[in-house]
Amino acid sequence: MNVIDRYTAKTKIEKDEYKLVSLAAFMIGSKYEDIYSPNAKSISNIYDFQFEPDLIIEKEAQILSALDYSLLYTSSYKILKMIFHLSKIQDQKVYYLSELFLEMSLIDLNILKYPQ
């Protein structure tokens, strides 16, 4: 989803192009995260060849080019996980409460007035 969000923030796409963009972003994500990623032909086959494999690969290249091949991103959730891992806090209640406050800050900006 991060790839799609960042790509659509930089590039205007038509409504009927979203499926192609999501397929290409899925392929990018699977190549980045998975050990074995599906190829364009199998993805095309799953979608009854609505999109040719070459078209999916071309869109994948357009997305990567628009993102300057930068796939790394930092999120507050990743930082929270890193802090808990490094601090060796074992209390799950503290972790889940921290997640709750993190999610609340994404929804309600009024919570940001409280100090850390």
How many helices (H) and strands (E) are present in the chain, helices listed first? 6, 0
* Percent of the chain residues topping a pLDDT of 90: 16
Dist. CA 85–CA 7, nearest whole Å: 31
Give start and end residues of each alpha helix (H) in 16-91: 18-33, 40-46, 53-66, 76-87
pLDDT, tens digit, for every residue of 1-42? 888 988 998 999 888 889 899 999 989 988 887 888 888 888
User: Quick one: which of 84, 75, 80, 78 has its CA closest to 101?
Assistant: 80
